[in-house]
Amino acid sequence: MKNLRRILASLITFISLLGANPVVIHADWKEDNKGKWNTEGSSYSIGWKQIDNTWYYFYPDSNYDIKGYMAHDTIINGYYLNNNGTWSNGGSEIQTYINLLNDTNWQKKNGIIFGNDKSTVDKNIIVDIDQDGVFEMLLHHGTCEANSTISIVTYNNGNIKKIEDIGIPDGGYYGYSNSKRVFFISAGRMGHYFTDGYKLENNECKKVFSSTDDEVYSRDDESLIVIGHNYTVNGQEVSATEYDESFKKFGKIEK
């Protein structure tokens, strides 16, 4: 009954925020390797939109790198958007994660934010990493892009636990391989980049894949600068082709 009251209260608040007479639009979806968006004439959808009687959220212009793209697998302003990007109540773990995103005491206790409030939670990703039917939450947080961390939070019968912190300087969540049950983070700067893969096993986060891409500079016969690359996969030097092939074994990586 308590959960039912919470869901009903959330629904009432959600509707009131969107206005008494929302405009229903029809879908004109487009997609590229970054995600989906919905066109509206010569422009695109922004913010909350009801499309074919279903609610979606499209990132605003302030998110310059993903503006207009459909949000999915995340919680926006207290509302859960599932893998299809549609607004959903989710299970008990989703409601708990929504509460945690507003619980600064829990965040401070677990090192997500600091007492001086210079650290913030920039993004959250909701994904069932080990595919046991219960979603995990990945929190992207830090004081700046160069000092960012992803923390993995699990839920088990009402119990919440932060099980891992992964440093991601100038990086973030890269995607999830459904076929291999692996999530990826990617980061780097000043010509050094890495992409690592992790699995969740027995409530522990284990690195199962690592790769690096380092830029190298040389000059050609005309003294022009030429940029090349040195690649490694799981600690071994590889060619560009082998580097690309190493990702293909994970199948489609949902971003």
The helix or strand, by DSSP H or E, that contains position 224, with its residue range, turns out to be none
The answer to whether 123 and 74 are in contact (CB under 8 A) is yes
What does the pLDDT look like over 97-123, one tens digit per residue? 999 999 999 999 999 997 666 788 999
- pLDDT score for 23: 55
- Rounded CA-CA distance 217/12 in Å is 58
- Rounded CA-CA distance 89/255 in Å is 22
- Rounded CA-CA distance 110/195 in Å is 25
Q: Is 185 helix (H, G, I), strand (E, B) or coil?
A: strand
Tell me the C-alpha to C-alpha distance, in Å, between residue 106 and each of 76, 103, 112, 114, 118. Answer: 19, 6, 8, 11, 16
- Rounded CA-CA distance 112/165 in Å is 9
Residues 6+ apart with CB under 8 A from 72: 35, 81, 82, 83, 84, 85
What does the pLDDT look like over 118-154, one tens digit per residue? 788 999 999 999 999 999 999 999 988 888 999 999 9
The answer to whether 129 and 200 are in contact (CB under 8 A) is yes
- Pick the more confident residue, 254 or 145: 254
The answer to whether 88 and 81 are in contact (CB under 8 A) is yes
What does the pLDDT look like over 40-71, one tens digit per residue? 989 999 999 999 999 999 999 877 788 999 99
